[in-house]
């Protein structure tokens, strides 16, 4: 089923009440999903998220609205590729409400991220994905894959060390 022209994707204005609330609500929905950890966002996170994103000049978010309902979110951050000496975009969160999954929202969000990345002069887009996440199929269809320089050295792994 195609969503166009009912689907719109716009850059979020973190200082706009509706956009800010939608960013928080969609991220909370993602956090509650098993692929997002299965637990709601902490109240402290919910309370400060939009303001913190607004204060970060490297952050941008895209909101997907189907008719007038927000159904998808991409939280992105600008970074820098030292090997290319050029900016890059990292998709930190990509969320689509369960009732609209499989209808092209994620694909449309990825295309919008790519358009925004090109507009900002980015050389590449990165994202992290759990190995069991069904969205991996979408990402692969849209050109994402393991990062490697030489197959003999293996592919990159995304590790973390929690500080809090």
CATH class of 7-145: alpha beta
Quote the pTM value. Answer: 0.93
pLDDT tens across 11-68, in order?
999 999 999 999 999 999 999 999 999 999 999 999 999 999 999 999 999 999 999 8
Q: What is the phi/psi pair of residue 112, to 5°?
A: -70, -40
How many angstroms separate the CA atoms of 111 and 106, rounded?
9
Residues 6+ apart with CB under 8 A from 133: 35
**Predicted pLDDT of residue 1:** 46
**pLDDT at residue 4 tops 90:** no
Residue 81: both structure tokens together: 């590729």
113: part of which helix (H) or strand (E)?
helix 105-119
**What is the distance between the alpha carbons of residues 113 and 74, in angstroms, rounded to a whole number?**
8
Give me the pLDDT at residue 5, please: 66
Q: Quick one: what percent of the chain has pLDDT higher than 90? A: 87
Q: Which H helix or E strand runs over 108?
A: helix 105-119
In which residue are the tokens 């209808």 written? 103
Pairwise CA distance, residues 40 & 109, whole Å: 23
More confident residue, 5 or 100: 100
Average pLDDT value for the chain = 95
Asked which of 5-19, 50-64, 86-100, 144-158 is least confident by mean pLDDT, the reply is: 144-158
- Give the Cβ contact number of residue 132 at 10 Å: 8
| Residue 79 burial by Cβ neighbours in a 10 Å radius (0-12, 13-18, 19+) | middle
Domain boundaries, the chain: 7-145
Angstrom distance (rounded) from CA 90 to CA 8: 22
Number of other CB atoms surrounding residue 15 within 10 Å:
11
């Amino acid at each position: 089923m195609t969503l166009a022209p009912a689907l719109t994707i716009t850059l979020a204005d973190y200082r706009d009440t509706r956009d800010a609330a939608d960013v928080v609500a969609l991220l909370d929905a993602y956090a509650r999903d098993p692929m997002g950890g299965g637990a709601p966002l902490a109240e402290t996170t919910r309370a400060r998220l939009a303001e913190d994103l607004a204060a970060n000049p490297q952050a941008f978010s895209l909101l997907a609205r189907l008719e007038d309902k927000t159904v998808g979110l991409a939280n992105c951050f600008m970074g820098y590729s030292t090997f290319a000496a050029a900016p890059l975009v990292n998709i930190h969160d990509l969320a689509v409400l369960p009732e609209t999954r499989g209808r092209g929202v994620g694909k449309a969000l990825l295309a919008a991220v790519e358009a925004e990345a090109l507009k900002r002069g980015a050389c590449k887009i990165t994202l992290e994905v759990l190995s069991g996440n069904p969205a991996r199929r979408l990402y692969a269809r849209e050109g994402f894959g393991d990062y490697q320089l030489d197959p003999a050295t293996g592919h990159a792994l995304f590790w973390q060390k929690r500080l809090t």
